[in-house]
Structure 1
């Protein structure tokens, strides 16, 4: 039966059966292994996989220039507000103290405003807003500025008089009176500011404070002479202690150097200031007199106030008691004799 088959079929059948029986699946891989070296398989870790939950620390914070400037501005604003609050608190405390003192009629002296370390303290209490009615505060302040300007002008007059004495020729000092002008100018400044404050400014202050007729008349009397004295100082009469028109013009005419001319011009400026002050004083006297007439004050009220003040004065009362007791004891001793 096999012989009837075609030889080619037999060969194919033989090859097929041989191939199935003799097939080795590892034959090709062995051949490949002999020709090429396989790459090593990386070793795998036997530990279980763990998720890393740790976080790195954030970088250090550094403020930018704009943030630093904003922080500095905010700090300055806070400091400024704190200083303002402290000032307001101090002002409120001062006002509360004033109100408490006013309840008990206790007023601390505040003028002249001297430092605490100064051996002498303030001598007067002066507060325009508290003592003077609103309608009279302006006129009283004008009087205070007049007194202040008068005091400053007397102080300047000392140095200009010193320049007058230094620039004057030695042979002319006796006739010109530059030496005596300088000495008297010092006396003026030592006496006149305090005297004018006590004699005419305090009276006008108290007159408007309490509508006092007596203080009004006292002011009129003293301030009238104040106007005359200021006018004389503006004239610059020889040996009267002021650099006025007469001695300044005479010194300018006789000057023979640039220094003398400068001193003469300074003297003339002081003279013009004295003249302006004299005119302002006359105007102020007129204004105060006009207000005085509108307040209802009179000479009779001034007499009554003077009599009342004298009668209530403790010194006058004690002197009267002593005089009366002396008179009684003298009369009793006379009767016994």
Structure 2
């Protein structure tokens, strides 16, 4: 019957069309599964990055968690990175300062009688100031930008202010202070102790550069503090 054949052709599905639809559905399901797996991986990475106790600093002996890209708001990350570089430069300067004082002690210029005292002070500063600078001003300013609280800003302003004064004081190079600075530099070049003078020159440059760098970042942080509307009363309440 022609009519029955026509009706049968209308009701029968097209095998090619069915295969194409099935292939598309499988591709979509596969893509959805891949996206879901990717989301799970990202969530797991994020969870591991911020989970408490995931200590990563310092790298040689992790005792705390620091992660500027994760913990610091993106608009403040450049400043916090520069503050971290300031702290690293301070550590480098302390090492150069120690080496310069050691060279002076070994070369033993007759005109410099304070070399043993300066060496002892330089060794003490190398170990004590490394920890003190981190916990007294870098960690507080890190927390200040992370939590946006007045109290941490005040800790930074007080102790980083002393740090800036100390930096320029060391750049002068007063005898018996452990500072490889300008006074010691002039004496060494005058007496032709070139090796000691070169290390002292490097330390002096680092002291001066770091001092002005610290001043710039101090002002930048203070400007942000005022713009955010923080006050001393707010810090006292915290």
Structure 2 length normalisation: TM-score?
0.78
CA distance in 1, matches of 2:148, 2:191: 53
Instruction: Tell me the equivalent position of 1:83.
Output: none
Which of 154, 157, 178 is matched with 2:94 structurally?
154
CA distance in 2, matches of 1:95, 1:143: 30
Instruction: Tell me the equivalent position of 1:99.
Output: 47
Answer yes or no: is 1:301 the counterpart of 2:228.
Answer: no
Instruction: Tell me the equivalent position of 1:271.
Output: 204
Q: 1:143·1:201 contact (CA, 8 Å) conserved in 2? A: yes
Q: How many residues align?
A: 199
Which of 210, 213, 218 is matched with 1:280 structurally?
213
Shift of 1:268: 2.1
Q: Secondary structure at the match of 2:179?
A: coil
Q: Secondary structure at the match of 2:174?
A: coil
The Cα RMSD (Å) is 1.9
CA distance in 2, matches of 1:296, 1:124: 30
Shift of 1:217: 0.8
CA distance in 2, matches of 1:198, 1:95: 32
CA distance in 2, matches of 1:304, 1:125: 27
Which of 101, 109, 113 is matched with 2:55 structurally?
109
Structure 2: which 5+ runs fail to align?
A: 1-39
Q: 1:101·1:107 contact (CA, 8 Å) conserved in 2? A: no
Instruction: Tell me the equivalent position of 1:219.
Output: 156
Structure 1: which 5+ runs fail to align?
A: 1-91, 115-120, 306-337
Q: Secondary structure at the match of 2:63?
A: coil
CA distance in 1, matches of 2:93, 2:43: 35
Answer yes or no: is 1:252 the counterpart of 2:189.
Answer: yes
Q: 1:184·1:241 contact (CA, 8 Å) conserved in 2? A: yes
Shift of 1:293: 1.0
Q: 2:150·2:235 contact (CA, 8 Å) conserved in 1? A: yes
Distance 1:233 1:93, change over 3 A: farther
CA distance in 2, matches of 1:210, 1:130: 13
Shift of 1:101: 7.2
Q: 1:173·1:179 contact (CA, 8 Å) conserved in 2? A: no
Q: 1:160·1:263 contact (CA, 8 Å) conserved in 2? A: yes
Q: 2:103·2:195 contact (CA, 8 Å) conserved in 1? A: no
Answer yes or no: is 1:131 the counterpart of 2:71.
Answer: yes
Larger radius of gyration: 1
Instruction: Tell me the equivalent position of 1:207.
Output: 144
Instruction: Tell me the equivalent position of 1:166.
Output: 106
Distance 1:295 1:228, change over 3 A: same
Shift of 1:93: 6.3
Higher relative contact order (CA closer than 8 Å, sequence separation 6+)? 2
CA distance in 2, matches of 1:253, 1:101: 55
Q: 1:199·1:219 contact (CA, 8 Å) conserved in 2? A: yes
Q: 1:185·1:242 contact (CA, 8 Å) conserved in 2? A: yes
Shift of 1:127: 0.6
